[in-house]
A and B are shown apart, each in its own frame.
Chain A
């Protein structure tokens, strides 16, 4: 039995424009120590999916409509708020995209770092401080003993993201959810932060759910990848399979539109149009309007296609149009 087993998770937002089905029936497993990626464009529902697991969706307007998320013998979606608080930040923690806004500018780093320890492990502040300093050293902050008493603004962006990682891992969680942890950073700092997450993961055996829109980052850090589009997974595969033998039209189009994969001088492959407006509801294959159907290919599904297994651990939405290979 995997560490976390999510089945048919559905989250929607009830807005004035109608019901937005941001996450529309997704299932995935996270094994101990594994790195699972969720890739998608903005608005595809990848963050909502993870916030739902920790029940951080503002309700209303959000509502978790159904599904289960079995974490050991606990269903994260059914837990009482009091018991949820014992999981959140202790057994599952979260790193956000923007380290500038996720640290409290009024509080010293020390106060913010020892808070999870004091709350979850009820140890004395002085012991907590010693552990916090050790944790800062582990994420590579020099002179941690003095730096811990600084305020967030005294750190650079990359250092702040290190502090966030230290804060997330200080309680030794079983799962770390990283929501676009390097999007706001520049390349060299991104490299350092990715390496850091990886080494800490190996040292502590934490499982990581890695949310990103960057396929190159996915190919470097993830073991297993879920590609999300319009609130559902369109393709799921081990990382190697996904890049070597992508099957779904969306995955293939995404890979072709990366500048690094393109020769200079040739126009970049583009995906025409925009993702569907989820408030209007989606019938049939969600990618159909943007899919360039090759000559003589079968038509797209007219009902929302289900995932089918195509190979070992390789799933894709069963839409004849999207699965038709263009060669």
Chain B
């Protein structure tokens, strides 16, 4: 049994257009997607914009109800749970977003952002300020932030540091799965590599399971163990990261690979 399993997960949207009698068209945003993710694995999810990556991630995050199919976490079918239970389960899934400038609350200090995240899992700390503060400091150290900055606001940090805060916030509720939606595409190259190293480090130390969504295949190849390629709501190919790169099977994957800009002039030595 896999850690997380998606079973024929499907989500349709109905688009109504026209007046007075709307024409209805059915959009199969996610169409019978089945995937398995083992604990401690990083799954890369790639595809062009509009292929259904975001809808799929919202289904996994329990932010959207599936039209049919189910998400099974550690053998438990999440759709069978009552809504109050789903609310409690939601902290098992955390997200890291693309733009750390937009995803952090500008009016909350690092301390209040991270304390809020920690309290969802350990509400008993609410009465124990010292313990909460040290938990925040531990979290900051984990993502490579200096605890001196605990009272600072997001605007006082650089893009890379903000993404570290966002990662710390995702780790706060001790999630079982982290969904990273283009976490490095808004960052500069030199900062990108710092964040990618951090994510890999966290995976090795904490055994994090992660779904890494990106359109940058070279980044996905580097970080993911397995890659799933999505097109028009369907998974068209899955495979080991390197294998998928060297021997792509579907035309969609080949087209994506062809599109990557490549360094043409390579130094012989490196």
Which residues on the A side are within 8 Å of B191 (C-beta)? 41
Min CB distance A286 to B, Å, is: 14
Interchain CB contact under 8 A, A188 and B193 = no
Question: Which of the residues B192, B197, B216 comes within 8 Å of A267, measured between beta carbons?
Answer: B197
Which residues on the A side are within 8 Å of B189 (C-beta)? 41, 213-215, 254, 257-258
Determine if A190 is an interface residue (Cβ-Cβ < 8 Å): yes
- CB within 8 Å for A270 and B190 given contacts A259-B221, A264-B221, A264-B222: yes
Which of A239, A261, A269 has the largest count of B CB atoms less than 10 A from its CB? A261
Interchain CB contact under 8 A, B266 and A188 = no
Question: Which of the residues B48, B241, B264, B268 comes within 8 Å of A264, measured between beta carbons?
Answer: B241
Min CB distance B251 to A, Å, is: 12
Residue of B nearest to A42 (CB): B188
Determine if A278 is an interface residue (Cβ-Cβ < 8 Å): no
SS of B interface (majority): helix
Which residues on the A side are within 8 Å of B265 (C-beta)? 219, 239-240, 242-244
Chain B residues 250 to 270 lying within 8 A of chain A, measured CB to CB, are: 255-256, 258-268, 270
Which residues on the A side are within 8 Å of B261 (C-beta)? 190-191, 194, 214, 216-217, 219-220
- CB within 8 Å for A271 and B264 given contacts A187-B217, A191-B258: no
Determine if A1 is an interface residue (Cβ-Cβ < 8 Å): no
- CB within 8 Å for A261 and B215 given contacts A186-B49, A270-B190: no
Determine if B196 is an interface residue (Cβ-Cβ < 8 Å): yes
- CB within 8 Å for A271 and B190 given contacts A217-B261, A220-B262, A261-B270: yes
Min CB distance A42 to B, Å, is: 6
Determine if B158 is an interface residue (Cβ-Cβ < 8 Å): yes
Which residues on the B side are within 8 Å of A244 (C-beta)? 265-268
Interchain CB contact under 8 A, B259 and A258 = no
Question: Which of the residues A41, A255, A261 comes within 8 Å of B188, measured between beta carbons?
Answer: A41
Residue of A nearest to B259 (CB): A191
Interface string of A264-297 (1 = CB under 8 A from B): 1001111100100000000000000000000000
Which of B193, B219, B241 has the largest count of A CB atoms less than 10 A from its CB? B193
Determine if A82 is an interface residue (Cβ-Cβ < 8 Å): no
Which residues on the B side are within 8 Å of A267 (C-beta)? 197, 200
Min CB distance A254 to B, Å, is: 6
Interchain CB contact under 8 A, A219 and B263 = yes
Which residues on the A side are within 8 Å of B219 (C-beta)? 259
Which residues on the A side are within 8 Å of B223 (C-beta)? 259
CA distance A267 to B201 in the complex (A): 9
Determine if B2 is an interface residue (Cβ-Cβ < 8 Å): no
Interchain CB contact under 8 A, A216 and B262 = yes
CA distance A85 to B193 in the complex (A): 42
Determine if B38 is an interface residue (Cβ-Cβ < 8 Å): no
Which residues on the A side are within 8 Å of B215 (C-beta)? 186-187
Which residues on the B side are within 8 Å of A261 (C-beta)? 263, 270
Determine if A19 is an interface residue (Cβ-Cβ < 8 Å): no
Interchain CB contact under 8 A, A220 and B241 = no
Interchain CB contact under 8 A, A268 and B260 = no
Which residues on the A side are within 8 Å of B259 (C-beta)? 187-188, 190-191
Which residues on the B side are within 8 Å of A240 (C-beta)? 265
Determine if B120 is an interface residue (Cβ-Cβ < 8 Å): no
Interchain CB contact under 8 A, A243 and B193 = no
CA distance A274 to B161 in the complex (A): 10
Which residues on the A side are within 8 Å of B255 (C-beta)? 188
Interface string of A179-203 (1 = CB under 8 A from B): 0000000111111001000000000
Min CB distance B175 to A, Å, is: 24
Determine if B103 is an interface residue (Cβ-Cβ < 8 Å): no
Which of B221, B256, B258, B261 has the largest count of A CB atoms less than 10 A from its CB? B261
CA distance A271 to B194 in the complex (A): 8
Determine if A253 is an interface residue (Cβ-Cβ < 8 Å): yes
Residue of B nearest to A240 (CB): B265
CA distance A244 to B196 in the complex (A): 26
Question: Which of the residues B158, B194, B260, B266 comes within 8 Å of A243, measured between beta carbons?
Answer: B266
Determine if B54 is an interface residue (Cβ-Cβ < 8 Å): no
Enumerate chain B interface residues (CB-CB to A < 8 A). 48-49, 158-160, 188-194, 196-197, 200, 215-219, 221-223, 241-242, 255-256, 258-268, 270
Can you spell out 15 A-B residue pairs with CB atoms less than 8 angstroms apart?
A41-B190, A42-B159, A187-B256, A187-B259, A189-B48, A190-B261, A216-B218, A217-B261, A219-B262, A254-B189, A257-B190, A259-B219, A260-B218, A260-B221, A264-B221
Q: A189-B48, A214-B189, A270-B197 are in contact. List 12 more A-B contacts (CB 8 A).
A: A188-B256, A191-B261, A216-B261, A255-B263, A255-B270, A257-B190, A259-B223, A261-B263, A264-B241, A268-B197, A269-B193, A270-B190
